[in-house]
């Protein structure tokens, strides 16, 4: 039978192993009072935990998706701020919805219902708006997209925006 290692090689491996593992001794028992404890620090502060970052990222993604829907389906008629194009501006509409609703969910539901089947009686705007702009066409978008863009519209509220703007 052939030997794979010589006795010198085995001795060298044994010495190297002992030397390598001699520095890996673990302390057992309590830490002595003279030995300072090193506090364990997390890599990220609590405010930027993985969950918070993930929530921030998903919120930013939802905002981008809603803005893309606005640009694709609404921007041709609704400018962001006055002056109005062929329909009231988004900032003016957001102010009107904020004036009528105290909660986002109710406003979003009302906006979605109106966008699916616009009618003068369903509008938060007065009759002069329809005299000026007419009735908007129904949007044939999936409910999920309508809800996203309605929520985004609610978020465009600017408390510094004065008056009814270009809605009347």
Over the stretch 128-137, which tens digit does the pLDDT of each residue have? 999 999 999 9
Q: How far apart are CA 133 and CA 168, in angstroms?
A: 9
Q: In the predicted model, what is the mean pLDDT of the chain? A: 78
pLDDT for 3 beyond 70: no
Q: How far apart are CA 110 and CA 124, in angstroms?
A: 9
Per-residue pLDDT at 37: 47
Asked: is 58-155 a CATH 3.30.365.10 domain? The reply is no
Over the stretch 86-95, which tens digit does the pLDDT of each residue have? 999 999 999 9
Phi, psi (deg, nearest 5) at residue 73: -115, -15
pLDDT range class, residue 55, cuts 50, 70, 90: confident
Strand, coil or helix: 163:
coil
Phi, psi (deg, nearest 5) at residue 152: -65, -45
Q: How far apart are CA 78 and CA 90, in angstroms?
A: 6
Share of the chain above pLDDT 90, in %: 56
Instruction: Assess contact for 127 and 107: CB atoms under 8 A.
Output: no
CA dihedral 46, 52, 54, 56 (to 10 degrees): -130
Q: How far apart are CA 56 and CA 149, in angstroms?
A: 18
Q: How far apart are CA 141 and CA 152, in angstroms?
A: 15
Say how far residue 81 (Cα) sits from the centre of its chain: 23
What pTM was computed for the model? 0.65
Per-residue pLDDT at 165: 58
């Amino acid at each position: 039978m052939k030997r794979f290692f010589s006795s010198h090689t085995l001795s060298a491996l044994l010495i190297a192993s002992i030397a390598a593992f001699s520095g890996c001794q673990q302390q057992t028992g309590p830490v002595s009072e003279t030995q300072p404890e090193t506090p364990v620090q997390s890599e990220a502060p609590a405010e930027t935990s993985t969950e918070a970052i993930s929530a921030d990222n998903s919120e930013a993604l939802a905002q981008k998706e809603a803005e893309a829907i606005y640009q694709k389906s609404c921007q041709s008629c609704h400018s962001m701020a006055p002056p109005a194009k062929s329909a009231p501006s988004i900032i003016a509409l957001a102010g009107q919805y904020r004036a009528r609703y105290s909660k986002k969910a109710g406003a979003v539901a009302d906006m979605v219902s109106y966008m699916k089947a616009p009618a003068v009686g369903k509008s938060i705007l007065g009759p002069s708006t329809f005299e000026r702009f007419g009735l908007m066409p129904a949007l044939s978008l999936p409910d999920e997209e309508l809800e996203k863009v309605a929520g985004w519209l609610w978020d465009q509220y600017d408390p510094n925006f004065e008056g009814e703007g270009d809605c009347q």
